[in-house]
Amino acid sequence: MIINTADGVARVPADYLNIARVLNLSERKVLTSILLPSVLPYVLTGVRLSIGTAWLVIVAAEMLTGGTGIGFWLWDEWNNLNVQHIIIAIFIIGLVGLLLDAALLAVARRFAFTEE
């Protein structure tokens, strides 16, 4: 996420910042009118990538720590050799990941910045 954000800031067109200097815009106005709209697509892409990784880590942590959660249930069913429940758990994990990605993609499309 940090790498995407840094890349987004680096790709802000220099012309935009030069115009802001010529117009003597305040830092707040530069941030809200130039930087945020330019960087937002990169930030949202970073969030999408991060949330996918976070979901995988959560499931893996549940497998290791035990107790509750879909990861623990998957690991428990693996130990019991219950293939039907393993397939259901994998399907649920994939479906939740797909829903998270679809929701973040909808947010990214909502705030898409198009240069006209």
- Would you state the pLDDT for residue 38? 85
* Residue pair 106/42 in contact by the 8 Å Cβ criterion: no
pLDDT tens column, 44-96: 989 999 999 999 999 999 988 878 889 999 999 999 999 999 999 999 999 99
Domain spans of the chain, in order of start: 2-110
The backbone torsions φ and ψ at residue 53, rounded to the nearest 5 degrees and listed phi first, read -65, -40
- Would you state the pLDDT for residue 67? 80
Report the pLDDT averaged over residues 15-33.
Answer: 89
Superfamily of 2-110 according to CATH: MetI-like (1.10.3720.10)
- Would you state the pLDDT for residue 113? 63
Reported pTM: 0.75
Half-sphere exposure of 94 (CA within 13 A, CB side): 6
Residue type (1 letter), 60: A
